[in-house]
Structure 1
Amino acid sequence: MIVTVTMNPSVDISYPVDILKIDDVNRVENVSKTAGGKGLNVSRVIKQMDGELIASGILGGSLGAYIIDQLNDENVPNRFLKIDKESRNCIAILHEGNQTEILESGPTLDGGEGDRYFKLFEKLIEEADVITISGSLPKGLSPNYYQRLLQKSHGKDVKILVDTSGEALKQTLLGDKKPFLIKPNTDELNALLEQETTFDIKGLKEALSNSLFDGVEAIVVSMGADGAFAKIQDTFYKISIPEIKVVNPVGSGDATIAGLAMGIDQELSWEEVLKIAMTTGMLNTMEERTGRINKANFKEYFNQVKVEKIKK
């Protein structure tokens, strides 16, 4: 079973307007509100792929209750730590071909609330084969909080996939307990290594061989329309995808994590795992709504993904 962790979920609100009028009234007819956060996108895709999962994290207030109601309506099993503080809204204004975002930072947690989630996480570990940890940390939690979650899995037969960025990712990698898999995109990889990587095979091999990644079983670098590049133990792979019509690319990385988690949970070969991940990522970009795929199209696009093992 897969457990997904979203520490800072949100209600994602989409406001489409023809023209955004500054310092004036903008009226919106078609408002979309969904349970948001990277880990919840992962959860929905796993559910749509008929995977077994529990969605988890921290939420609170009326917005937290709304998120749980939405997950229940979509038959996504969930077990969150509920706090008194209010979860956040994230607003996207779609106008003139642009997307202007207004993102609340969310609640500021204290150490006690972080400790309470540790206890819930320890129980979830006992039920999980694979755990995904996605997105940003709420204010108040230390940047090494994800590393501390990893330490809770010490001695347990569970594989943990981490999809975050910035200091939270760096602290995750600097600790004694390593994640099983990380999935940076090209910008996140550059920021992590504090360098400008040349995204050809030679440059990517050098970047992923950095000592910062020692002990990490798998690194998958998502590269948009160029597919992905992966290092699995000491083997490198180039993954190519077909040209597709992109409707909404937001959440494609989360859908990729969902595919990785499902393939790993099913103990498939790495070639199959990578193909599943690229397929779920592509299918997400072909839908208007974030964290959604059309499973009926899975086989068609799965068969078009090419995984090439790179010679040393």
Structure 2
Amino acid sequence: MIVTVTLNAALDVTYRIDQVHWNGVNRVQDLHRRAGGKGVNVARVLAALGHDVLVTGLAGGPTGRAVELDLTASALPHSLTPIGDDSRTTLAVTGSSGTALFNELGPRVTREELVRFLDGFAGALTGAAAVVISGSLPRGVPADFYATLAAHAADRGIPALVDADGEALRRASAGRPAIVKPNLEELARAFPADALGPESQAGLMRKAGAAAVVVSLGHDGLLAVTAEGTWRARMPYRVAGNPTGAGDAFVAGLAMGVVEGMPWPERLRLAAALGAAAVAMPVAGEIDHGTFQAVHRQINVS
């Protein structure tokens, strides 16, 4: 079983509009509402590929109840810690010119609610083969909390994968995660004063405790700095579509690679192909299998 952590769970709303008129009325042609947040999206991809999952995190208010109802309807096992504040909604508007994302800050979480979550998290780790800790932190959660969760997993011999941003990303390595997965923009925010390139920044994260750092380069593929060496995966071509959730599918591939004991080249090829396959779908948490097959066999890893 792979456990995913989504502290800032959301109700994801996606509007598809051919042409967005920012100063006029827009007619939505297609609408999706579903439980979201990065860890939820990771769990959807893993479940679709046949892995047992457990979604953990925080949920509160009417929006939190809507999130839990959708998880149940989607047959995604979950154990969300209840909180007093209302969970957030996110909006993706996708059209011919691209996709715009509108992400609410999310709820304010109390210390007592975090303690309850930690108690549940400890139980969820029983029988876990890996844990994926991803997404933004809601208000009231300390910046080193992902490092704390990763350390709990590491103490029990369970590999943790962390996909974070900002200070949470910068501090994540202290928890000794198996993999930290930033993209280039997230690296820049975590190291704003450093003129180092991504390979050197990844090296600093490894020195701080991360076993491996995999940097998503978008359409240019990925860079992996590991104990076994540095790898670069290059995409054969650019896949058009909605990039929302591509990073989550990418992380799902890395988690699969860890659990199934894949060598790094195979693991990276799988992750990159899943990320591309997610771009081809209109909503996060889904992959286009045809795109996956076409891209997977053409990815070059060196």
Which residue is 1:229 aligned to? 223
Residue range with higher mean Cα deviation, 118-127 or 85-94: 85-94
Structure 1 counterpart of 2:251, which letter? I
Residue range with higher mean Cα deviation, 97-106 or 80-89: 97-106
Q: Does 1:210 align with 2:208?
A: no
Which residue is 1:142 aligned to? 142
Secondary structure in structure 1 of the residue aligned to 2:112: helix
Cα offset, 1:295, TM superposition: 3.2
Cα offset, 1:296, TM superposition: 5.1
1:131-158 deviation digits (Å, cap 9, x = unpaired):
0001111101111111221232353120
**Cα RMSD for the two superposed structures:** 2.2
Which residue is 2:50 aligned to? 50
Structure 2 counterpart of 1:270, which letter? W
Distance 1:35 1:293 in 2: 16
Cα offset, 1:294, TM superposition: 2.6
User: Structure 1 regions of 5+ residues with no counterpart?
Assistant: none
Cα offset, 1:196, TM superposition: 6.4
Structure 2 counterpart of 1:48, which letter? A
Secondary structure in structure 1 of the residue aligned to 2:170: helix
Distance 2:65 2:254 in 1: 29
**Change in CA separation of 1:241 and 1:25 when aligned onto 2, cut-off 3 Å:** closer
Which residue is 2:13 aligned to? 13
Q: Does 1:252 align with 2:253?
A: no
Cα offset, 1:241, TM superposition: 1.6
TM-score, structure 2 normalization:
0.91
Cα offset, 1:305, TM superposition: 1.5
Which residue is 1:275 aligned to? 269
Cα offset, 1:161, TM superposition: 0.3
Larger Rg: 1
**Change in CA separation of 1:236 and 1:104 when aligned onto 2, cut-off 3 Å:** same
Cα offset, 1:28, TM superposition: 4.0
Query: Which structure 2 residues correspond to residues 3-152 of structure 1 after superposition, within 5 A?
Result: 3-17=3-17, 18-20=19-21, 22=23, 28=28, 30-94=30-94, 97=97, 99-152=99-152
Distance 1:172 1:241 in 2: 28
Secondary structure in structure 2 of the residue aligned to 1:167: helix
Distance 1:170 1:21 in 2: 36
Identity %: 31
**Change in CA separation of 1:29 and 1:256 when aligned onto 2, cut-off 3 Å:** closer
Task: Specify which of 179, 182, 185 is matched with residue 180 of structure 2.
Answer: 182
Cα offset, 1:11, TM superposition: 0.8
**Change in CA separation of 1:39 and 1:211 when aligned onto 2, cut-off 3 Å:** closer
Tell me the matched-pair count: 301
- Does the Cα contact within 8 Å between 2:14 and 2:283 map onto a contact in 1? no
1:74-122 deviation digits (Å, cap 9, x = unpaired):
2211111122321111123446725444322121011000000000010
- Does the Cα contact within 8 Å between 1:190 and 1:197 map onto a contact in 2? no
Residue range with higher mean Cα deviation, 138-147 or 69-78: 69-78
Secondary structure in structure 1 of the residue aligned to 2:186: helix
Task: Specify which of 189, 209, 219 is matched with residue 191 of structure 1.
Answer: 189
Which residue is 1:285 aligned to? 279
Distance 1:211 1:28 in 2: 43
1:23-78 deviation digits (Å, cap 9, x = unpaired):
x6655464321211111111111111111111111101221121122222222111
Distance 2:205 2:10 in 1: 35
- Does the Cα contact within 8 Å between 2:235 and 2:298 map onto a contact in 1? yes
- Does the Cα contact within 8 Å between 1:20 and 1:95 map onto a contact in 2? no
**Change in CA separation of 1:289 and 1:19 when aligned onto 2, cut-off 3 Å:** closer
- Does the Cα contact within 8 Å between 1:222 and 1:229 map onto a contact in 2? yes
- Does the Cα contact within 8 Å between 2:205 and 2:213 map onto a contact in 1? no
